[in-house]
Structure 1
Amino acid sequence: MKVSDPTGQVWRVRRRWVPWRRRLTGWLSDSWGWASLGDDPISLIVFVVIGIPVLVITAIAFAELLLLLLLLPFVLLGRVLLGRHWTVEARKGLTIWWEETSGDWRASATRIADVAAAIERGAVPEQNVDRPDPAAPQ
């Protein structure tokens, strides 16, 4: 659920579908600014210095996405069959600001609505995430 506080800051309050946070969020958005390759040695140096790291980061992000897609059905089955609790998180912009474990699907939906309404009123939750995602803009 996307809401704005009285100052106009955009917040997102949602369930986290998997028990972990993605680590490479935001890395690839800045990485595609390099020029096309030419035939001169300078272009080779630019490709080695910029292009290869971009390709490695892209491969790692793609592998993480594939792993996420492979594990997601099992995680969801475990949540449904074993009654695992959902984590509700509030993001200030794209930075995780607050999170809390809040019970089953219905309880987490209620908690999302409560937190979103509180943010709209100006009662912003206190930050309880130690290290916000450094790749996400404020």
Structure 2
Amino acid sequence: MKKKWIIILGIVIIIILGLGVKFYMDEEKSNKEMMNVVYSDEAKEVFEIRLKALDAKALTEEGVIHSYKIDKESIKHNPMGGINVTLIINNDSELNITYTINNFNGELSGGASSISEKLSKLLGRWEENK
């Protein structure tokens, strides 16, 4: 009888370990897919269009936004769909924009965005309460 319980316990442990490994592998695959999307040429185009909508002279010497880089640690699955990603502007972590990018009908598009207070002020989009 004791041997039977040990065998059952062993099987349960193997099943739990197997499910854990599968969950981990699925999570890794999902993270890799999100990285591929965020670092794709199509995403770069979406980011640059959105940046130029905020600053007509973005990515030039005359613009407020001279450069951007993707904050790799910020890339997360959005529970409402899409991928959340933060762009660091001009290598200043206080100048950032967080986007939700989505894939609709096989085409990437920028969804909601959130602009840091410091960047918003530089772009002239911030009004102090009087």
TM-score, reference length from structure 1: 0.32
TM-score by length of 2: 0.33
Name the larger-Rg structure: 2
More strand by share: 2
